[in-house]
Amino acid sequence: MMSLARAISDLNEGLVMDLVKHRLEMGATPLDIVEECRTGMIEVGERYSRGEYFLGDLVLSAEIFQGVMQVLAPALDKKTAPKPLGRIVFGTVEGDIHDIGKNITISLLRCHGFEVQDLGVNVPPDKFVHSLNETGASILCLSILLSSCFEALRRTVSLVRLFDREKKIKILIGGLVNEKVREYSGADGWVTDARRGVTICQKWMGVL
Amino acid sequence: MADEIKQLFEKRLGRYQATIALEKTDRMPIATGSNYFAEVYSGNTKQETIYDSEKWLRAEEAFIRDFPEVDVLRNNRIWGPLYDAVGCKTYKLPGRDLSPRTQFQFVEDEYMKADEYDVLINNPLEFMMDRLLPRVLGELAEPGSIRARMALLKGGMAQVMMSQIMRNRSLYLEQKLGMPQPMTGFFLAPFDALADVMRGLRGVLLDIYRQPDKVLEACDVLVDEMVNLALATADPLKRYPIFVPTHKACFLSPKQFETFYWPSFKKTMERLIEAGYTIRAYLEGDWGHHLHHLLELPRGKVLCDIDNQGDIFKAKEILGNHLCIAGGIPDSMFILGTPQEMRERVKLLCETVGKDGGFIINGGCNIPYDTKPENYRAMIDAIIEYGTYDSSIDPKPLTGQAEESETPPLKMVTPWEVKLAELGDVQGDENLIRKPWELLEIMGYTWIWQWVL
């Protein structure tokens, strides 16, 4: 039989759900199933990097993964979950309500073992600071599509730096950004591609 | 004075039209479709642009005074009171849902259910009236209630008020300021009509896998509706391109695009071009994999705006001398760059992409709100310096084919023939009754479909 990871990587939704059901009946632990799905999701990211998949495929894979998680959620024991690779706070900056890029990146990050706190869209700077304090996250990801929000981006980074004088928190911006925007905002890195965002976070955590 | 203004108007319009048609003209036009910078140039809030038409016009008057080299300036934006009257949920508006200085934004949701394709396919109008509008327009949530009926009344009245405002604006811009429009009228690619307000991106992507035939059938049905919407809202004199923003193509693989997006989009555009119109298409996101399809359209009839995520040099290479393109300046350069950087960028673009015409320098489908005036000034000065082709040419509006093509009849719910049969016969001049009847029918029909945008 085809592996669950392969079915996910092929975006074969019907087969994925059948396999998940079958694996549960066969006595597999929910955690094993999640791990297999993650492997499949990572492969989806690779296929995107190779130009084989497109944005829509990433959105679809995240949908399928979420569907699996919904089935497994009641049975998942949080205590036995593996230690996360790192903690990330993620949100779209104040004034901007776009979320597609953010959602794709978050689902990829989670599949690569990061614990991500998703603050949603139109997030005011102080809310990011509050969440960073609360979670102890070492990476902040800021999503932005509107050029009218560069100022909100800069304000957010400034406020975070004010509370993080030792610069322990790394800040990554993504969306409609470039080196100029990064420089203006004071962030540590910029990406326009979700897969590349994961790589940078992995580097910052010292796993690459 | 009036003559001078008319000449100025004709010169600007002629320059813009010639560039779209890939014909020779005196210089590269300064012709952004969405000049957000102009709207707030005088210090207006973004709320004032959509709620206070007088202030909006004054802002643009100030803008034109300081940047008289600009060739077109846009009319027909969202008018807040119409959206409030019907409780439109698809936009967050500055001053209402967002701070007055934040820009309006589209909010996507799944307003059409996955199992409703047949309703849309079999009777699009019924689908709109009974399913979509009560969900998208909050005031219509309980069809038949007094509040819902009242909202329809108010919605119709607000539409007439808005049309009056936009008409006056357009005339003022034309007759007092000599300023043509970058586009008039609008439509969507059928796939976007389905994917934006109806199913949403998530929904439509799932449908592509789960019920591809239904998606295709729905797109086919929507061709007629989008053609009708475009023709009903377009410039009757056919001077200006019809506007189409494209939203979901950038998410699709080449195969998905070819199968689901392109055929119905192409058909829609072909019919508008046959009716004597040109089109201004915002190719939002990265269209790199899809651009070559546009070569299937007639030469010089579509102006393509290349977004920041796209590559203007590649676009030029592909579309070459077939269609006019616009873009080339990263939005961030307007906001964070320097006049020197702007000048260098414009020079580069003029010497490469723009050297043989058929090119308009622009940001990514817009000039950003937060543009620094000195950067905008630098862009204009550099265009005049490096983008002048032949000063001896005196641009004049194009005449000919557009006027000759006939506009197809527009859609109505109750055509005059039906009404006439009910009346039996009319005693006086039938045309005096028929024409306003049909006009109101067309306006009503258009009103219903505008909410897909």
DSSP per position, B414-447: S-HHHHHHHH---SS-HHHHHHHHHHHHHHHHHH
- CATH fold group of domain A4-80: 1.10.1240
- What pLDDT shows up at residue B422? 96
Q: Are B178 and B112 in contact (CB under 8 A)?
A: no
Ranges for all domains in chain A classified under CATH 3.40.50.280: 86-204
Average pLDDT over residues B402-427: 89
Distance to chain B for A82, nearest Cα, Å: 30
Cα distance from B106 to chain A (closest Cα, Å)? 8
Strand pairing class (B91-92; B105-106):
antiparallel
How many angstroms separate the CA atoms of A111 and A49, rounded? 16
pLDDT in tens, B91-119: 999 999 999 988 889 999 999 999 999 99
Look at residue B138 and tell me if it is in a domain: yes
* CA pair distance A134, A115, nearest whole angstrom: 13
pLDDT of B32 over the 80 cut: yes
**pLDDT value of position B401:** 57
Residue B406: per-residue pLDDT: 80
Cβ atoms within 10 Å of B363's Cβ, excluding its own: 28
With a cut of 90, say whether residue B450 has pLDDT above it.
Answer: yes
| Residues above pLDDT 70, as percent of chain B | 98
Which residues 346-405 in chain B show a CB within 8 A of chain A? Answer: 364, 368-370
Phi-psi region of B238 (alpha: psi -120 to 50; beta: other; left: phi over 0): left
B292: left (phi > 0), else alpha (psi -120 to 50), else beta?
alpha
The helix or strand, by DSSP H or E, that contains position B380, with its residue range, turns out to be helix B373-386
Query: Which of B148, B181, B214 marks a domain boundary?
Result: B181
pLDDT for the residue numbered A1: 46
Q: Is B332 at the interface with chain A, CB within 8 A?
A: yes
C-alpha distances (whole Å) from B416 to each of B152, B224, B241, B408 are 22, 20, 30, 16
Which residue among B159, B181, B203 closes a domain?
B181
Between CA B193 and CA B195, with CA B194 as vertex, the angle to 5 degrees is 95
**Looking at the domain assignment, is residue B325 inside a domain?**
no
Average pLDDT of chain B? 95
Please report, for residues B156, B157, B369, B414, the alpha-carbon distance to residue B444 in angstroms, rounded to integers and kept in the order given. Answer: 8, 11, 34, 11
A158 shares contact with chain B (CB less than 8 Å) = no
Residue B201 forms contact with A (CB below 8 Å)? yes
B114 at interface of A, judged by CB pairs closer than 8 A = no
Give a yes or no: residue B67 inside a domain.
yes
Q: Residue A191 pairs with which residues in a beta bridge?
A: A174
> For position B60, what pLDDT does the model report?
86
Numbered ranges of CATH 1.10.1240.10 in chain A: 4-80
B137 pLDDT more than 80: yes
- Within 10 Å of residue B408's Cβ, how many Cβ atoms? 13
Q: Does the ipTM surpass 0.90?
A: no
Say whether pLDDT at B59 is over 80.
yes
**Is residue B266 a part of any domain in this protein?**
no
pLDDT-based confidence at B325, cuts 50/70/90?
Answer: very high
What's the pLDDT score for residue B418?
97
In this structure, the number of other CB atoms found within 10 A of the CB of residue A7 comes to: 23
Instruction: State whether A147 and B370 contact (CB < 8 Å).
Output: yes
Q: Does A53 touch chain B (CB under 8 A)?
A: yes
Radius of gyration of chain A (CA): 18
Longest dimension (CA), chain A: 55
Is residue B5 scored above 90 in pLDDT? Answer: yes
User: Residue B40 above 50 pLDDT?
Assistant: yes
> In chain A, which stretches have pLDDT less than 70?
1-2, 77-81
- In the listed set B140, B163, B181, which residue is the last one of a domain according to the structure? B181
Task: Enter the DSSP assignment of B139.
Answer: G
Q: Are B249 and B263 in contact (CB under 8 A)?
A: no
Q: Which amino acid is at A18?
A: D
Separation CA B363–CA B34 (nearest Å):
10
Structure tokens at A167: 């610069």
Q: Smallest Cα–Cα separation from A20: which of A11, A9, A33, A29?
A: A33
pLDDT tens-place string over residues B247-267: 999 999 999 999 999 999 999
Cβ <8 Å between A97 and B107 = yes
B309 is a domain residue: no
> Is residue A82 within 8 Å of A112, Cβ to Cβ?
no
Is the pLDDT score of B216 beyond 50?
yes
Give the domain range for residue B101: 28-181
Which residues neighbour A182 within 8 Å (Cβ) at sequence distance 6 or greater? A173, A189, A190
The confidence score (pLDDT) of residue B43 equals 87
Q: Is A162 on the interface with B (CB under 8 A)?
A: no
Q: What strands, in cross-sheet order, belong to the sheet with B302-306?
A: B242-246, B279-283, B302-306, B324-328, B359-362
- Residue B66 above 60 pLDDT? yes
- Within chain B, how many helices (H) and strands (E) appear? 21, 7
| Number of compact structural domains in chain B | 2
pLDDT tens track for B297-308: 999 999 999 999
Q: Is the CB of B330 less than 8 angstroms away from the CB of A180?
A: yes
Residue B341 inside a domain? The answer is: no
Is the separation of the CB atoms in B272 and B224 below 8 Å? no
Structure tokens at B104: 């309006």
Q: Which residue of A has its CA nearest to B370?
A: A148
The amino acid at residue B267 is K
**Contact at CB, A147 and B209, closer than 8 angstroms:** no
Range A86-204 classified under CATH 2.30.180.10: no
Mean pLDDT of B180-184: 96
| CA–CA dist B9, B11 (Å, integer) | 5
Residue B282 in domain = no
pLDDT digit string (tens) for B370-398?
A: 999 999 999 999 999 999 999 999 999 99
For residue B108, give the amino acid letter: E
Q: Is B293's pLDDT higher than 90?
A: yes
Give all strands of the β-sheet with A114-118 in edge-to-edge order: A114-118, A86-92, A139-144, A170-175, A189-191
Flag whether residue B208 sits within 8 Å of chain A, measured between CB atoms.
Answer: yes
